[in-house]
């Protein structure tokens, strides 16, 4: 095969991610497709090694997909490329560089920037460059796209992708809602792909062995008719390997969808439901339209009448929300018992309208990606830090699903108050939020419950012993040894945790 003239590249957060955006660009290259290849890396790769691999085939054009999670590393790659191969044309696109691009060093180093949906504009730019007629302007604003004009990307998931990576799909683009913290607030509405065409592509993926479909639609249930058709499509192909992920509008669950959700067996369906905040005043401030009573009723119904895994989202740091307000919303959501609560810290995404609240609510953001909020007029820096740690420890303990028995004792009837107490104690004790070995986490839970939170020793021991047996760790936890049992000698005490971690091969990162 001849060396490609065009490389489509991005840095994913993990190997098992696959870039849907690059595959759209490749699918719509037309006659240039045989002259192009997709190259995916991960952010932990060294930028100089990525640059070396990209330049090995001496491409004429390299297009990068730039996102909030990879902009720092991609900027380093671009800087190296322009230093050692200035003749290589660098084209940027993606949400992170589509707004406020005049302020970004990565854009200054690149040859071209395409803002907005570049599915067709990238092909046009490449064709112009390769025929020796490059456009005079560096910044190209992509025209609005009719989805019917796009070639679908799904045939370009390879056998390796299907075997080892998440397969992302979309039945629609855009969002009709205007939540100011989200880039989708810039969309005019949600636009569906042709349903028969889309389902034919899903059938082809299914025939090729795909069983894990992650829908990236912001509003999967916006059209009940479309959602029903997609759910029925997968119910007809149900097997013990099928897994579907959908993002739902929280206060919309019509009867036609309710009739289908219970038919999916355990382990086959995950529903991401963005609650974000239960404070009506905050919702009004950020232009979020949400019926909280209906949201609560829908979450309760899904939990009680389906086998779906609920992934519910809350945001820390929204303008107008203080610690007390966040705590009330947190407790309300915990009371609905979703299997997972993702606590996100507000990010200042480039181009989003949330920036209008900077002065009125003293919003202070980290100037480096991912631009998380550091403080607000209602939430001092120290409290944002505490809540950031709470989010991390919540992931390690409650969201992990490893501690179902201990969870009851840890949260009691005042979940936020008690878990924040545990958070403060755990951080004061360890000064760590990462690289905590699983066996050590069990010991820390034991100490936190019994020493810091006053939980009965017998109750805590029984709960943690049960969780330990189901965790995959072998033997018995050392902290539950009877008081009169001889302990290890001094020389063995030093490395007990290290030995157990190596023995189990498990660490919570």
The domains of the chain are located at 6-147, 166-379, 405-509
In this prediction, residue 502 has a pLDDT band, given cuts at 50, 70 and 90, of: very low
On the question of a common fold for 6-147 and 166-379, the answer reads no
Longest dimension (CA), the chain: 84
Residue 500 has pLDDT above 70, yes or no: no
Percentage helix, strand, coil, to 5, in the chain? 45, 15, 40
- Residue-wise pLDDT tens digits, 350-393: 999 999 999 999 999 999 999 999 999 999 999 999 999 999 99
CA distance 5 to 405: 58
The single-letter DSSP state of residue 361 is T
Q: What pLDDT does 205 receive?
A: 98
In this prediction, residue 78 has a pLDDT band, given cuts at 50, 70 and 90, of: very high
Cβ contact 358:373 at 8 Å: no
Mean pLDDT of the chain: 93
Q: CA–CA distance from 484 to each of 65, 405, 481, 492 (Å)?
A: 61, 26, 8, 18
- Residue-wise pLDDT tens digits, 426-436: 999 999 999 99
Residue 485 has pLDDT above 90, yes or no: no
Backbone φ and ψ of 370, nearest 5°? -90, 30
- Residue-wise pLDDT tens digits, 83-105: 999 999 999 999 999 999 999 99
Per-residue pLDDT, averaged over 279-288, amounts to 97
**364-365 and 373-375 strand pairing:** antiparallel
Beta strand extents in 329-469 (DSSP E only): 340-345, 364-365, 373-375, 436-437
Q: What pLDDT does 484 receive?
A: 57
CA distance 67 to 437: 31
CA distance 474 to 503: 9
CA distance 278 to 330: 8
Residue 462 has pLDDT above 70, yes or no: yes
Name residue, tokens 């899903």: 202
Among 158-172, 186-200, 267-281, 474-488, the range scoring the smallest mean pLDDT is: 474-488
In this prediction, residue 189 has a pLDDT band, given cuts at 50, 70 and 90, of: confident
Superfamily for the 166-379 domain: tm_1862 like domain (3.80.30.20)
In this prediction, residue 473 has a pLDDT band, given cuts at 50, 70 and 90, of: confident
Among 18-27, 301-310, 460-469, 494-503, the range scoring the smallest mean pLDDT is: 494-503
- Residue-wise pLDDT tens digits, 130-149: 999 999 999 999 999 999 99
- H or E segment and range at residue 12: strand 6-12
In this prediction, residue 416 has a pLDDT band, given cuts at 50, 70 and 90, of: very high
- Residue-wise pLDDT tens digits, 443-454: 999 999 999 999
Residue 486 has pLDDT above 60, yes or no: no
Per-residue pLDDT, averaged over 23-50, amounts to 98
CATH architecture of structural domain 6-147: 3-Layer(aba) Sandwich (3.40)
Q: CA–CA distance from 119 to each of 30, 93, 114 (Å)?
A: 11, 10, 10
CB contact set of 505 (below 8 Å; sequence gap of 6+): none
- Give me 209's structure tokens: 């062995």
Q: Where are the alpha helices (DSSP H) in 20-120?
A: 20-27, 47-55, 71-84, 105-109
In this prediction, residue 483 has a pLDDT band, given cuts at 50, 70 and 90, of: low
């Amino acid at each position: 095969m001849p060396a490609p003239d065009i490389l489509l590249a991005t840095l994913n957060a993990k190997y098992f991610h696959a870039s849907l955006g690059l595959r759209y660009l490749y699918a719509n290259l037309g006659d240039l497709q045989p002259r192009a290849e997709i190259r995916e890396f991960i952010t932990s790769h060294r930028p100089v090694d990525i640059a070396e691999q990209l330049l090995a085939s001496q491409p004429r054009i390299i297009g990068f997909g730039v996102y909030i999670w990879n902009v720092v590393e991609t900027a380093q790659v671009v800087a190296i490329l322009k230093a050692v191969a200035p003749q290589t044309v660098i084209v940027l696109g993606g949400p992170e560089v589509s707004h406020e691009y005049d302020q970004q060093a990565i854009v200054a180093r690149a040859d071209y920037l395409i803002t907005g949906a570049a599915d067709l504009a990238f092909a046009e730019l490449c064709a112009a460059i390769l025929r020796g007629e490059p456009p005079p302007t560096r910044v190209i604003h992509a025209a609005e796209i009719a989805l019917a004009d796009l070639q679908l990307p799904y045939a370009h998931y390879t056998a390796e992708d299907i075997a080892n990576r998440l397969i992302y799909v979309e039945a629609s683009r855009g969002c009709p809602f205007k939540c100011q913290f989200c880039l989708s607030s810039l969309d005019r509405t949600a636009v569906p792909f042709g349903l028969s065409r889309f389902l034919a592509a899903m059938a082809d993926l299914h025939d090729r062995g795909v069983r894990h479909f992650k829908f990236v639609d912001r509003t999967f249930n916006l059209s009940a008719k479309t959602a029903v058709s997609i759910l029925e499509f997968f119910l007809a192909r149900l097997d013990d390997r099928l897994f579907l992920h959908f993002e739902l509008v929280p206060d919309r669950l019509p009867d036609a969808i309710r009739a289908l959700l219970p038919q999916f067996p355990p382990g086959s369906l995950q529903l991401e439901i963005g609650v974000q905040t239960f404070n009506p005043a905050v919702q009004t401030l950020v232009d979020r339209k949400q019926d909280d009573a209906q949201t609560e009723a829908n979450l309760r119904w899904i939990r009680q009448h389906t086998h779906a895994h609920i992934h519910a989202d809350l945001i820390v740091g929204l303008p107008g929300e203080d610690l007390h307000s966040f705590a009330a919303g947190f407790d309300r959501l915990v009371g609905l018992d979703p299997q997972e609560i993702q606590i996100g810290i507000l990010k200042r995404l480039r181009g989003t309208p949330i920036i209008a609240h900077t002065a009125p609510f003293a919003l202070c953001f980290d100037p480096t990606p991912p631009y998380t909020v550091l403080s607000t007029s209602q939430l001092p820096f120290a409290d944002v830090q505490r809540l950031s740690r709470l989010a991390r420890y919540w992931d390690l303990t409650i969201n992990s699903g490893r501690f179902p028995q201990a969870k009851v004792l840890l949260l009691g009837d005042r979940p936020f108050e008690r878990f924040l107490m545990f958070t403060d104690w755990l951080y004061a004790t360890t000064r760590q939020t990462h690289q905590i070995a699983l066996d050590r986490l069990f010991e820390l839970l034991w100490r936190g419950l019994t020493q810091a939170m006053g939980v009965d020793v017998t109750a805590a021991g029984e709960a943690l012993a049960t969780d330990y047996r189901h965790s995959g760790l072998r033997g018995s936890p050392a902290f539950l040894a009877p008081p009169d049992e001889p302990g290890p000698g001094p020389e063995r005490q030093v490395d007990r945790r290290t030995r157990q971690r190596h023995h189990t091969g498990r660490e919570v990162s």
